[in-house]
């Protein structure tokens, strides 16, 4: 996963390019670089580190020129070194490229180029592109054709942008299976991996499709087919994200900002049109076999969905992690796959959906990013409209996905008669009460989780448990604690304790239990039974529960009495509790909250 950016303008582009890759930094942040064209050719500055640090060290802002490209990297091929950072130059240093994706046949291409005496400066797959174009030029092809024939030689995925001294006011770019978007300004045009690359400057954009390339200049752009150079007519999209929304707005971290945006993202998820919800419900109920899928947090969102399909619609809709799906689930014609993805660029999920289509299955997706690959690949798409999620750790997008899956489950229940219209209305009203509930919760409870985090941040091992719909919440909380606080955490159904985990319990392992409300009598009783089991083995438990009667209970070392919510939405309140706990564990431990080590926002590689 990397972010690419390019600007052609009538004025200096260095400052805008810098802010562009800063906005793209969440896509990858181990190294970055920039190439700006001057009279002698592209001047390249690059190094390893966060964008702000590299920019300062390499004096990005001292570059002068009206055409430039930039890149922020998350390493796949080749280590994190200054040489492996993009842009990459051709041997004669007349052209520079940036690339996002993976070129699977690069070893073969590279060997052939080395035979032709090309000298490689890096270990990356990307560098072959620069040399391929150069080679084509040597053979006499004009620049544009030299570029497209290079792209034709590539196997794998790519979004590429190139500048050359031969065309000082142009950027050449093309894509296959990696995202690429053009931004249309006034006498200034932009190329980027997504909207964030240029959202500060324009809201008009053109989404490129696979197999297309574009020539962008300071007075316009042309999109053509890589295959035969035929022009393609593209529609101009207007992005309605506010550029302010892409920034932190004074919050100390994007993660906290996005946690606080959840009342609004829930409202947005509730305002997704009834037609789309009905469409998904029909797809699910009408299929021979229906599945939910996602990977990482979105898999847990799908898992939450599975429980609601069972409870609200009496439907068995298994959730399978998209990376394992093809190994553990039969998939054929007339099956239905509903995929969940924030970015819509997740490699594992895209691979699965492509395979599902190949086998004749129907596909649908709940996606946040407009114009993303997944959103254009599936038969039905529901855009969750959560706005940009910048923190690598998903919070608001995941909650919105769960809300949409709950709405689909309720609709499916109404369709198959499991729920009466009155019951559907009552449940919908409970969902509609959620934004106010969340808003009050965030304001009045944050400090309680902060206190618990301060007290227990030194514990290295955590077990998060719940039963029923609180089990996927426990899974998701454990994942959050792992990814943002770097603490060892496992999510488990509380019922598993007896079947193994009890052997692990001692006073160094911290258990956290999500306890359902007392109205879910049996589940509540059984969960409290599990709490007693841990206590009996000298274990320590933090309780997140809804019962006034448990206040002061000696079974919990620490506890938070959550605000009361109906059984339908109480797991979501528990989910927020998990978000706040993991956030404060991370801040107390001084973690890099928005960009945890070794993680990228959307995982576009295998």
**Which residues have a catalytic role annotated?**
2, 601
Print the binding letters for residues 454-493 with other proteins: x by CB under 8 A, - otherwise. x---------------------------------------
Contact between 209 and other proteins per CB under 8 A: no
Tell me: does residue 252 bind other proteins (CB under 8 A): yes
256 touches other proteins (CB under 8 A) = yes
286 binds other proteins (CB under 8 A): no
Are 581 and 449 in contact by the 8 Å Cβ rule? The answer is: yes
Span from 131-139, 249-257, 305-313, 567-575 in contact with other proteins (CB under 8 A): 249-257
Size of the site for other proteins (CB under 8 A): 23
Q: Specify the residue for token string 């034709």.
A: 152
Q: Please report whether residue 447 would count as binding other proteins according to CB under 8 A.
A: yes
- Choices 78-86, 199-207, 338-346, 448-456; region in contact with other proteins by CB under 8 A: 448-456
**Positions in 570-589 near other proteins (CB under 8 A):** 587
Say how many Å lie between the first and final Cα of the chain, rounded: 10
| Closer of 56 and 444 to other proteins (Cβ) | 444
Nearer to other proteins, 147 or 260 (CB): 260
Residue 336, Cα to own-chain centre: how many angstroms?
Answer: 23
CB of 556 to other proteins, least distance (A): 17
Residue pointed to by tokens 């932190």: 248
Smallest distance from other proteins to CB 31, Å: 28
The rounded distance, in Å, linking the Cα atoms of 230 and 249 is: 44
The one among 445, 514, 546, 556 contacting other proteins by CB under 8 A: 445
Shortest approach of other proteins to residue 542 CB, angstroms? 15
Of the pair 158, 445, the CB lying nearest other proteins is at 445
87 cis-preceded (ω within 30 degrees of 0)? yes
Dist CA 546 CA 577 (whole Å): 12
Length of the chain: 606
Helix (H), strand (E) at residue 9: strand 3-9
Residue number with CB closer to other proteins (310 or 457):
457
With CB under 8 A as the contact rule, the residue among 222, 444, 506, 507 that binds other proteins is 444
Binding mask 375-414 for other proteins (x = CB under 8 A): ----------------------------------------
DSSP line for 289-329:
SEEEEESTHHHHHHHHHHHHHHHHH-----EEETTTHHHHS
- Report the sign of the C-alpha dihedral through residues 187, 214, 175, 232, in that order: positive
Task: Tell me how far apart the alpha carbons of residues 530 and 555 are, in angstroms, rounded to a whole number.
Answer: 11
Residues 258-277 as x/- pattern, contact with other proteins by CB under 8 A: --xx-xx-------------
Tell how far CA 596 is from the center of its chain: 14
Looking at 70-78, 122-130, 228-236, 252-260, which segment touches other proteins (CB under 8 A)? 252-260
Position 594 contacts other proteins (CB under 8 A): no
- Rounded CA-CA distance 317/337 in Å is 10
| Residue 193: DSSP 8-state | S
Instruction: Examine residue 254 and tell whether it contacts other proteins (CB under 8 A).
Output: no
Compute CA distances 401 → 239, 303, 307, 325, 342, whole Å.
21, 11, 14, 19, 9
The phi, psi pair for 246, rounded to 5°, reads -80, -5
Stretch that binds other proteins, among 317-325, 332-340, 437-445, 464-472 (CB under 8 A): 437-445
Q: Does 249 bind other proteins (CB under 8 A)?
A: yes
Q: Which is nearer to other proteins, 454 or 508 (CB)?
A: 454
CA distance 80 to 29: 10
Q: Which of 120, 241, 251, 486 binds other proteins (CB under 8 A)?
A: 251
List all residues 6 or more positions away from 436 whose beta carbon is below 8 Å from its beta carbon: 263
Rounded CA-CA distance 582/594 in Å is 12
Nearer CB in complex with other proteins: 268/524: 268
Q: Which residues are at the interface with other proteins (CB under 8 A)? A: 249-252, 256-257, 260-261, 263-264, 439, 442-451, 454, 587
């Amino acid at each position: 996963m990397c972010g690419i950016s390019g600007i052609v303008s009538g004025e200096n582009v260095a400052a805008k390019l810098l802010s562009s890759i800063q906005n793209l930094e969440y896509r990858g942040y181990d190294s970055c670089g920039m190439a700006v064209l001057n009279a002698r050719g592209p001047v390249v500055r690059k190094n390893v580190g966060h964008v702000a640090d590299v920019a300062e060290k390499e004096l990005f802002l001292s570059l002068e020129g009206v055409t430039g490209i930039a890149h922020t990297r998350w390493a796949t091929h080749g280590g994190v070194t200054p040489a492996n950072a993009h842009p990459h130059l051709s041997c004669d240093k007349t052209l520079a490229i940036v690339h996002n994706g993976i070129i699977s046949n690069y070893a073969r291409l590279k060997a052939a180029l080395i035979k032709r005496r090309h000298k490689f400066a890096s270990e990356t797959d990307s560098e072959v592109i620069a040399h391929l174009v150069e080679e084509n030029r040597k053979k006499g092809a004009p620049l544009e054709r030299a570029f497209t024939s290079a792209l034709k030689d590539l196997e794998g995925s790519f979004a590429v942008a190139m500048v050359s001294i031969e065309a000082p006011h142009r950027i050449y770019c093309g894509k296959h299976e990696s995202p690429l978007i053009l931004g249309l300004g006034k006498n200034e045009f932009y190329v980027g991996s997504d909207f964030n690359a240029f959202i500060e400057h324009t809201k008009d954009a053109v989404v490129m499709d696979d197999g297309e390339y574009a020539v962008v200049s300071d007075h316009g752009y042309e999109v053509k087919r890589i295959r035969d150079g035929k022009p393609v007519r593209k529609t101009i999209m207007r992005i309605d994200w506010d550029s302010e929304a892409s920034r932190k707005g004074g919050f100390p971290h994007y993660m906290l900002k996005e946690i606080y945006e959840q009342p609004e993202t829930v409202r947005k998820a509730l305002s997704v049109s009834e037609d789309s919800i009905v469409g998904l419900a029909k797809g699910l109920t009408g299929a021979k076999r229906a599945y939910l899928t996602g990977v990482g947090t979105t898999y847990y969102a799908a898992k939450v969905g599975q429980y609601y399909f069972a409870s609200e619609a009496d439907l068995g809709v298994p959730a399978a992690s998209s990376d394992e799906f093809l190994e553990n689930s039969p998939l054929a014609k007339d099956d239905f796959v509903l995929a969940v993805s924030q970015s819509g660029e997740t490699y594992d999920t895209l691979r699965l959906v492509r395979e599902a289509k190949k086998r004749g299955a129907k596909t649908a997706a709940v996606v946040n990013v407009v114009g993303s690959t997944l959103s254009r690949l599936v038969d039905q798409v529901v855009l969750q409209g959560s706005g940009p999620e910048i923190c690598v750790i998903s919070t608001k997008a995941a909650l919105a996905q769960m809300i949409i899956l709950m709405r689909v489950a309720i609709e499916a229940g109404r369709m198959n008669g499991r729920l009466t219209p009155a019951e559907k209305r009552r449940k919908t009203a409970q969902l509609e009460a959620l934004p106010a509930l969340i808003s009050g919760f965030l304001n009045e409870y944050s400090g309680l989780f902060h206190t618990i985090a301060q007290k227990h941040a030194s514990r290295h091992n955590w077990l998060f448990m719940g039963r029923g719909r609180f089990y996927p919440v426990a899974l998701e909380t454990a994942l959050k604690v792992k990814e943002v606080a770097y603490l060892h955490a496992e999510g488990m159904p509380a019922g598993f304790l007896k079947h193994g985990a009890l052997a692990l319990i001692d006073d160094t392992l911290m258990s956290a239990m999500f306890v359902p409300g007392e109205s879910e009598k049996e589940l509540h009783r059984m969960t409290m039974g599990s709490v007693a089991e841990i206590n009996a083995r000298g274990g320590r438990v933090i309780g997140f529960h809804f019962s006034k009667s448990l206040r002061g209970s000696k079974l919990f070392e620490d506890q938070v009495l959550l605000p009361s919510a109906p059984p339908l939405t109480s797991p979501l309140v528990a989910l927020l509790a998990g978000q706040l706990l993991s956030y404060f564990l991370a801040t107390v431990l001084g973690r890099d909250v928005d960009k945890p080590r070794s993680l990228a926002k959307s995982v576009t590689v295998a």
